[in-house]
Structure 1
Amino acid sequence: MLRKSIGLLAGMLVTVAVYAAGAQLRTNHPDTYTVRRGDTLWDISAKFLSKPWLWPEIWQANPQVRNPHLIYPGDVLNLSFINGPHLTLQPSVHREGNAIPAIPLSQLKMFLKDMRVMNSNEVSSAPYVVGFEENQLRGTVGQNIYVRGLKAERGQRWAIVRPTHVFRGFDGKGSNGEDSDIAGHLLDSNVALVRSPWSEDFRNDGHYGRGDDLGVEVTVIGTAETLRGGDPSTLLLLDANREIRAGDRVMPLDGPAYDPYYYPHAPKTLPANGRVIAFADAMAAVGPHQVVALSVGKKDGVDNGTTFAIWQPGDRTFDDVAHDSWDRGTGKKVQLPDEYIGHVMVFRTFDRVSYGLVMDGLRPVKMGDKLRMPD
């Protein structure tokens, strides 16, 4: 059936977009699918296509489905083969819940609301906590905190943020003589954040403070309200998910807006040296449905929905056979090929860094893995 549909498409000289989508139809795809609560655009597309990021192409070839973001639980999708593959939509009479998103944004609230990547100068020059009521060492909810450099009116609310990662790109050669990779490093949580810039925890690689600055990740850890102006200003700590420390920064409560609706799509051009540079909730590796930071952003043409293939760099191994030696590890090193790992879709972008969700994978994603075109 699949070969017949491909031949029919080519014979009728239909558009390249339809042909591409038809060529990627799963052999076991359903003829109809009823949208369920909790579905995402990626989930649904994976039921029809072997390459889910081609979903927009099959939508664009079928104007019956006017907007893929306006499908709801209870709607029925029909796949037919009249002059090529066509999706038609039968809207449900009683629609439930919200429109289907591209990925599960409800599970990514922390990265959409509470985390930002900013220019390091912007962070280091922001107003900062200098002290606490009754000369306490830490600030807790219900106490007054004192902030320097803040110009605010009484009653104005603010976010208390703490830097969590610094992202750098290293040029030149590493200690092993090989090209150094872009990397994201945790900030040392054991130092007081009173210095600017703050200390970076590079103890394992010796790259203290060097490299191209891609940005600093900050996390919202509390909110406060201005009681009195001045320098320092007096703020009431309204809530916090950890103790507030001297050196924590104060920023506007509402962070950059994000777009909840977008299409999965391949990048228009592949950014140079795109890498996985940090993990949200792991140390060594992550898998599907976990968040990673990528070394590409808006300035590289990356937007929400951009989908990359992840490839793991090949190892370098000794060729002792060609060297004709009985001593293991004395031959000339050979670079092994890169290996395909899976896909990542961007859901939040900043100037030079993005957050992405690992959508699928054959093996764990590691730090330094490369980004390529999804084809």
Structure 2
Amino acid sequence: MGIFSIVGLLLAALPVQAWERVRDDAPSQYTVTKGNTLWDIAGEFLYAPWQWPELWRANPQIENPHLIYPGDNLNLDNCQGNPCIVMERGQQTVKLSPQVRTLPHREAITPLPLETVRAFLRDHRIINEKEALEELAYVVAGDNQRLISGAGDLIFARSTDADTGQNRIVRGDPVEIYRHGEPYQSASGEILGLELIKIGEAYVARREGEIIQLEVRRANQEVRNDDLILPLEETALDDNFMPRAPRAELSGTILAVPGGVRFIGRLQVVAIDLGSRDGLQTGHVLRIDQAGERVNDPRTQEVLQIPAEEAGLLMVFKPYDNVSYALVMEASRTLEVGDSVRTPR
């Protein structure tokens, strides 16, 4: 009997409710390979990849079950009537020889394509309140009265008396140079956050009172007067998380696609109008709904609203207070700014 036939009999013998989330074509065993993400693997077993934690049981031998490595074998099993994944830890082999050999370091697979996310975070940042901009240091001049500056140039910035605490800049500090982006606004016009676009990096050469002299180390664009100077932001991501749905019923909107693009596809970054104050966390998955068209009734000429349809899924990777950045993981149609997001069913 074929392996898929055995799995089919196993599924048929168990309660429908317990197994309805498992794909009909789910493999009985899956070997993790380099380049996989947790989302990819979850999609091999489940129709809804964010339900992965519900499958993850019966692994007491694994010190940290969130870490999965290339070579590990994942077995679909029956745990007291419920579907579960049991993992067999893959073993690396090393060829013996007279000299000493070290075991190569194995990197755990990531929940989503983190390099795509890290590259985005290096160039984007959100300030929660408009008033906070006034507390930041800003460029007032280039060396020798230059209007624009680049890598290797000296620039001068002014730091107000409000430049304290985490925004304090002192000699020897590495800093980042940002430019004002678009404000993120709610449907009512409330400012939810202010986007900052990274222009480059600099080093604080000296400081005298409010005036700071900086050496530009790297520049993606020319540095101009009124560009902002901020301390380095910690952009490290905790890759030890599982994709999962929020516990609360959340509803929001796609505010923008950083970079000005309106139409959205898979693995593009979007900004949504939900944040940590709404209970959103890294790893939370939201469903994307697209509003139906407005049509005229052919008999009465009344305007009718066609119901919204599910169009994709996104995963949050950087929540701020009122705004979050998320990566589109699935898109069954072209998505747009203004599409709704909500807790998946």
TM-score for the superposition, normalised by structure 1: 0.79
Alignment of 1:55-74 (within 5 A): 55-60=52-57, 63=60, 67-74=64-71
Amino acid at match of 2:173: Q
Select between 214-223 and 58-67 the one with higher mean Cα deviation. 58-67
> Which of 241, 245, 265 is the equivalent residue of 2:224?
245
CA distance in 2, matches of 1:216, 1:349: 14
CA contact (8 A) 1:345 1:358 kept: yes
Could you list the runs of 5+ residues in structure 1 that have no partner in the other structure?
Answer: 11-18, 172-210, 323-330
Aligned to 1:266: 245
Task: Report the Cα offset of residue 165 of structure 1.
Answer: 2.2
CA distance in 1, matches of 2:191, 2:338: 17
CA contact (8 A) 2:57 2:86 kept: no
Task: Report the Cα offset of residue 282 of structure 1.
Answer: 6.0
Aligned to 1:234: 213
CA distance in 2, matches of 1:349, 1:374: 18
Amino acid at match of 2:205: L
CA distance in 2, matches of 1:112, 1:61: 36
CA distance in 2, matches of 1:284, 1:152: 37
Alignment of 1:33-44 (within 5 A): 33-44=30-41
Note the aligned Cα RMSD (angstroms).
Answer: 2.2
Alignment of 1:69-108 (within 5 A): 69-81=66-78, 83-84=80-81, 85-94=83-92, 97-108=106-117
Amino acid at match of 1:262: F
Q: Residue 373 and residue 31 in structure 1: after superposition, are their counterparts in 2 closer, same or farther (change >3 A)?
A: same
Amino acid at match of 2:262: A
Q: Residue 96 and residue 245 in structure 1: after superposition, are their counterparts in 2 closer, same or farther (change >3 A)?
A: same
CA contact (8 A) 1:223 1:253 kept: no
Aligned to 1:115: 124
CA contact (8 A) 1:59 1:65 kept: no
Could you list the runs of 5+ residues in structure 2 that have no partner in the other structure?
Answer: 1-6, 93-103
CA distance in 2, matches of 1:5, 1:60: 18
Instruction: Indicate yes or no: 2:320 matched with 1:342.
Output: no
How many residue pairs align between the two structures?
A: 318
Alignment of 1:1-375 (within 5 A): 5=11, 8-9=14-15, 20=18, 22-60=19-57, 63=60, 67-81=64-78, 83-84=80-81, 85-94=83-92, 97-119=106-128, 120-149=130-159, 152-171=169-188, 211-230=189-208, 231-255=210-234, 258-272=237-251, 274-281=252-259, 283-322=261-300, 331-375=301-345
Q: Secondary structure at the match of 2:224?
A: coil
CA contact (8 A) 2:54 2:84 kept: no
CA distance in 2, matches of 1:350, 1:27: 38
Q: Residue 64 and residue 371 in structure 1: after superposition, are their counterparts in 2 closer, same or farther (change >3 A)?
A: farther
TM-score for the superposition, normalised by structure 2: 0.85
Task: Report the Cα offset of residue 256 of structure 1.
Answer: 5.6
1:159-207 per-residue CA deviation (whole Å, 9 max, x = no partner) reads 1111222100132xxxxxxxxxxxxxxxxxxxxxxxxxxxxxxxxxxxx
1:270-292 per-residue CA deviation (whole Å, 9 max, x = no partner) reads 234x0111113562311111111
Aligned to 2:3: none
Task: Report the Cα offset of residue 156 of structure 1.
Answer: 1.7
Q: Secondary structure at the match of 2:116?
A: helix
Amino acid at match of 2:312: G
Task: Report the Cα offset of residue 9 of structure 1.
Answer: 4.0
Task: Report the Cα offset of residue 242 of structure 1.
Answer: 1.0
Q: Secondary structure at the match of 1:81?
A: strand
CA contact (8 A) 2:58 2:86 kept: no
Higher strand share: 2
Q: Residue 24 and residue 80 in structure 1: after superposition, are their counterparts in 2 closer, same or farther (change >3 A)?
A: same
> Percent identity at matched positions?
36
CA distance in 2, matches of 1:238, 1:275: 38
Q: Residue 82 and residue 283 in structure 1: after superposition, are their counterparts in 2 closer, same or farther (change >3 A)?
A: closer
Q: Residue 286 and residue 96 in structure 1: after superposition, are their counterparts in 2 closer, same or farther (change >3 A)?
A: farther
CA contact (8 A) 1:141 1:239 kept: yes
Task: Report the Cα offset of residue 220 of structure 1.
Answer: 2.2
Select between 126-135 and 212-221 the one with higher mean Cα deviation. 212-221
